[in-house]
């Protein structure tokens, strides 16, 4: 990294030019305008030529408060997301059963469906009896286990009729061993010194790594991504192991897809640079890890509040949507269930994932109290049953959808900690936008807690989101919460 300090004649400031192996040169624009103008006068031709050259290779990165990059599809501003594992969804394991269930997902207040990979699965070096969805044999195929292309198109069309949207999993990092490219375009793959194909990770023996230094691969991958948007009307992609694919490729793919339709892009990764050009949303993996630490007693409520402030105010740009969750297919299959992970803290941590900035996500079956780890490579059905989680999640997702303070990214309100609203046990914050206001008061401990909040922002009339009970709060309140207890309140301007 090269830093140019200001001279004695300039206001204090600097320019940093950083070279990233994935994105290329990055210009960090943190300088005062007088200094910048002075530099332009002396170096205008060189600087403009340099910026133009860098823009072809990388990203212009401004401070975290920069304006949104303008890629949000309008429909994404207030949606929640639901992940579908087609194989385990029903005894038949086909698209038709998912299509039939869409009205129930819609009734919960969820409008965005993420479907795990729908493509034909490789047979060479297959794991388990059915193989991994993420071992793709043909990017333009439909897995016959799930149905036909017409069946999948019917699912997408029905979602659109209901005012819902569908993104599909995209596995750009690797393919199955028996993908046709291994014969037609072996240069698309990484190889060892002996010239043999290699897995991207030693344990991922059913797949082989792709080589993004090859321009032909990039174009072929983008062509396949365009195909599903153009021919089937999918609304975007969840991009698998996105950090293992160059960000420059995702930027290139996003530009190409925007020429076809205004897609929505989710990265399975959490690099801040993802949000500059390619992705609306990224995984909040670290936040999930902090919740686990809190449940284990390794951190407290103040630590979690400090972490949240860092993520929102310093690490990510304002437009970034972070996807928040207690479980997903990876966590459920390879780690544990929600009940095993969070125990009695699950409810308050769920409340946190809805009240804090970001988009809440649930994995199919959570609304039925999913309490087992679903096998990944074999048939292992979700047990669908009446459960109190459905009513709770419905309340939370509908709250998310209607209250502008909770909307996604730059569309929602920033969170603000109440004065004296953060201690080792209790975290209290509020968010507001366009007359809508929410309050979250969270006891993040296994003991009863009492907190005093002394802040004019607390005063007002509110409705309890879960019970509909009315609350008239003054600017100073003493509030007692049961172990892992919480309040979620909302107010609307009249």
DSSP per position, 2-62: EEEE--TTSPS-EEEEEEETTTEEEEE----HHHHHHHHHHHHHHHHHHHHHHHHHSEEE-
Query: What CA–CA distance (Å, rounded) separates 143 from 372?
Result: 25
Residue 86: per-residue pLDDT: 98
Distances (CA, A) of 147 to 104, 119, 154, 236: 21, 11, 11, 21
- Look over the chain and give the mean of its residue pLDDT values, rounded to a whole number: 88
Nearby residues of 426 by Cβ (< 8 Å), 6 or more positions away: 301, 441, 442, 443, 444, 445, 449, 451, 479, 481
Angle at CA of residue 439, ends 437 and 440, nearest 5°? 150
Residue 17: per-residue pLDDT: 36
At 24-56, the pLDDT tens digits run 333 333 332 333 333 333 333 333 334 333 333
Distances (CA, A) of 160 to 10, 59, 261, 492: 56, 34, 15, 30
* Two tokens, residue 302: 């103040």
Nearest to 35 by CA among 13, 4, 17: 13
Q: Note whether 248 and 31 are within 8 A (CB).
A: no
Confidence of residue 352 (pLDDT cuts 50, 70, 90): very high
Domain boundaries defined on the chain: 2-61, 74-411, 415-492
At 428-452, the pLDDT tens digits run 999 999 999 999 999 999 999 999 9
For 355, phi and psi rounded to 5 degrees? -80, -35
Residue 72: per-residue pLDDT: 83
- Looking at CATH, the fold of the domain delimited by 415-492 is given as Immunoglobulin-like (2.60.40)
- Is the pLDDT reported for residue 193 higher than 70? yes
DSSP, res 243: G
The pLDDT > 90 percentage for the chain reads 83
Distances (CA, A) of 404 to 167, 280, 320, 492: 24, 18, 16, 10
The fourth-level CATH superfamily of domain 74-411 is Glycosidases (3.20.20.80)
Q: Note whether 238 and 168 are within 8 A (CB).
A: yes
* Two tokens, residue 42: 């002396």
At 266-315, the pLDDT tens digits run 999 999 999 999 999 999 999 999 999 999 999 999 999 999 998 877 89
pTM of the predicted structure, to 2 decimals: 0.86
DSSP letter for each residue of 356-375: SSSEEEEETTGGGT--SPPP
Using DSSP's 3-state secondary structure scheme, residue 304 falls into helix
138: β partners: 120
Nearest to 438 by CA among 419, 412, 420: 412
Q: Note whether 141 and 119 are within 8 A (CB).
A: yes
């Amino acid at each position: 990294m090269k830093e140019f300090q200001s001279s004695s004649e300039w206001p204090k400031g600097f320019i940093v030019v950083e070279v990233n192996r994935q994105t290329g040169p990055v210009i960090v624009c943190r300088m005062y305008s007088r200094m910048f103008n002075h530099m332009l006068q002396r170096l205008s031709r060189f600087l403009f030529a340099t910026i133009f050259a860098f823009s072809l290779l990388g990203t212009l990165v401004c401070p975290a408060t920069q304006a949104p990059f303008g890629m949000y599809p309008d429909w994404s501003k207030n949606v929640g997301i639901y992940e579908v594992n087609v194989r385990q969804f029903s005894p038949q394991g086909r698209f038709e059963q998912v299509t039939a269930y869409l009205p129930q997902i819609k009734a919960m207040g969820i409008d965005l469906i993420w479907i795990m990979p729908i493509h034909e699965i490789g047979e060479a070096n297959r794991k388990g009896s059915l193989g991994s969805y993420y071992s793709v044999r043909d990017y333009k195929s439909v897995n016959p286990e799930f149905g036909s292309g017409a069946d999948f198109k019917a699912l997408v069309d029905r979602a659109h009729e209901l005012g819902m949207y569908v993104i599909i999993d995209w596995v750009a990092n690797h393919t199955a061993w028996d993908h046709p490219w291994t014969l037609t375009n072996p240069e698309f793959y990484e190889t060892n010194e002996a010239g043999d194909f290699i897995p991207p990770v030693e344990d991922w023996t059913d797949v082989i790594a792709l080589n993004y230094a090859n321009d032909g691969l990039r174009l072929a991958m983008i062509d396949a991504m365009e195909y599903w948007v153009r021919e089937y009307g999918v609304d975007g992609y969840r991009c698998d192991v996105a950090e293992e694919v160059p960000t420059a490729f995702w930027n290139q793919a996003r530009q190409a897809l925007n020429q076809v339709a205004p897609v929505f892009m989710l990265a399975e990764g959490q690099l801040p640079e993802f949000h500059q050009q390619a992705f609306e949303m990224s995984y909040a993996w670290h936040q999930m890890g902090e919740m686990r630490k809190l449940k284990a007693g390794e951190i407290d409520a103040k630590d979690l509040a400090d972490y949240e402030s860092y993520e929102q105010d310093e690490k990510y740009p304002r437009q970034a949507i972070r996807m928040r969750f207690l479980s997903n297919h990876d966590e459920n299959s390879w780690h544990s269930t929600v009940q095993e992970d969070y125990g009695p803290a699950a409810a308050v941590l769920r409340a946190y994932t809805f009240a804090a900035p970001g988009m809440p996500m649930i994995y199919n079956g959570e609304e039925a109290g999913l309490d087992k780890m679903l096998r990944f490579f074999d048939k292992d059905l979700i047990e669908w049953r009446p459960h109190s989680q459905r009513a709770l999640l419905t309340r939370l997702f509908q709250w998310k959808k209607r209250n502008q303070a909770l909307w996604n990214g730059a569309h929602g309100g920033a969170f603000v900690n109440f004065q004296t609203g953060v201690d080792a046990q209790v975290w209290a914050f509020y968010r507001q936008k366009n007359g809508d206001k929410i309050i979250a008061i969270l006891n993040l401990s296994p003991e009863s807690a009492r907190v005093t909040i002394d802040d004019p922002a607390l005063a007002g009339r509110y409705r309890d989101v879960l019970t509909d009970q009315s609350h008239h709060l003054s600017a100073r309140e003493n509030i007692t919460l049961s172990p892992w207890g919480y309040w979620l309140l909302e107010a609307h301007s009249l």
